Chains A and B, each alone.
Chain A
Amino acid sequence: GNSVTQMEGPVTLSEEAFLTINCTYTATGYPSLFWYVQYPGEGLQLLLKATKADDKGSNKGFEATYRKETTSFHLEKGSVQVSDSAVYFCALTTNFGNEKLTFGTGTRLTIIP
């Protein structure tokens, strides 16, 4: 079956620090990979995605590269801001015509000024 393992939280960083949140996966078939973000009081929002090996998804300064050889999709940002404080979820779908998402546990990120 499909599963996603992501870095345990919570993670606390100072503003302008470098961020990495690790995500690895197992999947039957060829997955598409996603990072979702949940800001306080809001729903899950798609942050970025990658649909094939070596693709890099990017948005709002965040990046993640689809690494098939290591089955990973680590989220990175070079300089975090207080407004990046949120819960981040790694997820996948397998393209068998059913787009149910398989999520990791989520990582709570807090950025302190």
Chain B
Amino acid sequence: EPEVTQTPSHQVTQMGQEVILRCVPISNHLYFYWYRQILGQKVEFLVSFYNNEISEKSEIFDDQFSVERPDGSNFTLKIRSTKLEDSAMYFCASSVGWEGYEQYFGPGTRLTVT
């Protein structure tokens, strides 16, 4: 069964460093998402992406964040200058359609900023 994959499973970085989290969505999916979960808190929406542009972003998704689909298979989340409060589990998701279609989630990348 097709699945969403994410790499790395765990990333440790120092404050101020750039990180890129990678996701490979399911191949025929067209809509892509990033969510994050700070330990002990809710899973929060960050951004949705369709047709090579951002569809919607939350207030969390400030200028330090960017997303890209560089090669038609990968979907990346970049944080330019990490802060301690960026430490969280980051989930990628994809869906084949928009309204009413299930989002398929990856296993997550745990980002630890020291």
Which A76-113 residues have a C-beta within 8 angstroms of B?
Answer: 89, 91, 95, 97-106
Of A45, A99, A105, which is within 8 A of B95 by CB?
A99
A98–B91 touching, CB < 8 Å: no
The residue that A43 contacts in the complex, of B44, B102, B108, with Cβ under 8 A, is: B108
Q: Evaluate contact between B56 and A98: CB separation under 8 angstroms.
A: yes
Known A-B contacts A43-B91, A43-B105, A103-B43; the reply to A98 vs B48 at CB < 8 A is yes
Pair count A-B, CB < 8 A = 61
Cα of A16 to Cα of B55 in the assembled complex, Å: 45
- In whole angstroms, what is the CA distance A44 to B100 when docked? 17
Q: Are B42 and A41 in contact (CB under 8 A)?
A: no
Q: Does A46 have its Cβ within 8 Å of any Cβ on chain B? A: yes
Q: Which residues of chain B are within 8 angstroms of A69 by Cβ–Cβ distance?
A: none
Q: Which of B41, B91, B99 contacts A95 (CB 8 A)?
A: B99
Interface centre among B31, B42, B93, B98 (most CB of A within 10 A): B42
Contact A103 B44 (CB under 8 A): yes
A positions within 8 Å CB-CB of B: 4, 32, 36, 41-46, 51, 89, 91, 95, 97-106
Tell me the B residues contacting A by CB distance below 8 Å.
Answer: 3-4, 6, 31, 33, 35, 37, 40-45, 48, 55-56, 58, 91, 93, 95, 98-108
28 CB-based A-B contacts, threshold 8 Å: A42-B107, A43-B3, A43-B6, A43-B91, A43-B104, A43-B105, A43-B106, A43-B107, A44-B43, A44-B91, A45-B105, A46-B102, A91-B43, A95-B99, A95-B100, A98-B56, A98-B98, A99-B99, A99-B100, A99-B101, A100-B45, A100-B56, A101-B35, A103-B44, A104-B42, A105-B40, A106-B37, A106-B42
